[in-house]
Amino acid sequence: MADRDFVSLIHKSTKRDYLARVNEIDKAEVADIAVQFGRDYWDGSRLTGYGGYNYDGRWRKVADAMVETYNIRPGMRILDVGSGKGFLLHDVTEACPGVEVAGIDVSEYAIENTMESVRPYCQVGTAARLPWPDYHFDLVISINTLHNLFLPDLWSAFQEIERVARGAKYICLEGYRSEREKVNLMYWQLTCHAFHTPDDWKFLFEKVGYTGDYEFIYFE
């Protein structure tokens, strides 16, 4: 188990107005919209989600780093739990031609709008019940997804990732290290249901038996 640094540079490049998130909107109302993970979340207003989640190549540096770190080679299988529109999977296939990819996301809208290059390999489903056999993948990744689950499904999702992986595992989660970061996270997030410090997340890893790599992003 290792603390990785794949997503942090992308995360830190985005500027956020935390106070506007709560002062300009009815936060509870827009959160109710966001957790449906439909068009409003992906391609609607910035107040209800991404404000338009379009491919711009930013995930290629993450894909390159993962391919190098985990020694990914053609013929290996990679699963993205919470694949969204498939941007990272697309970039992985370009970083390592010949790799086999699969994606799963709770959002029907995201799967319907997944990049054509990887859409045939992605499906609607939940992280708590992955529809693949044991030890099927050489690398299982999940970025900014699992903290959206309530504890029973979160627990199951960790176990499912362990079950389907025969090789490396990597997850990225939101966390906080101070009261300011906790408040910023609560101001900014729309879909998060698990609010934990790094030590709390690591405690959960141990209890559930998660043995893979991890990364925490913070709202500074």
The answer to whether residue 104 is domain-embedded is yes
Q: Give the other-Cβ count within 10 Å of 156's Cβ.
A: 18
Q: Give the other-Cβ count within 10 Å of 178's Cβ.
A: 11
The answer to whether residue 3 is domain-embedded is no
Q: What is the CATH number for 158?
A: 3.40.50.150
Structure tokens at 143: 């970025």
Structure tokens at 9: 């540079």
pLDDT tens track for 34-91: 999 999 999 998 889 999 999 999 999 999 999 999 999 999 999 999 999 999 999 9
Q: How many domains does the chain have?
A: 1
The answer to whether residue 2 is domain-embedded is no
The answer to whether residue 177 is domain-embedded is yes
The answer to whether residue 109 is domain-embedded is yes
The answer to whether residue 152 is domain-embedded is yes
Q: How far apart are the first and last CA of the chain?
A: 25
Residue pair 126/153 in contact by the 8 Å Cβ criterion: yes
Q: Which domain holds residue 13?
A: 8-217
Contacts of 219 (CB under 8 A, 6+ apart): 16, 18, 174, 176, 181, 184, 185, 187, 188
The order of strands in the sheet holding 100-105 is: 122-124, 100-105, 77-81, 137-143, 165-174, 213-217
The answer to whether residue 63 is domain-embedded is yes
The answer to whether residue 97 is domain-embedded is yes
Q: Which pTM value belongs to this model? A: 0.94
Report the chain (220 residues): mean pLDDT per 10 consecutive residues. 88 70 79 96 92 95 97 98 98 98 98 98 98 98 98 98 97 97 93 97 97 96
* Whole-number pLDDT of residue 13: 61
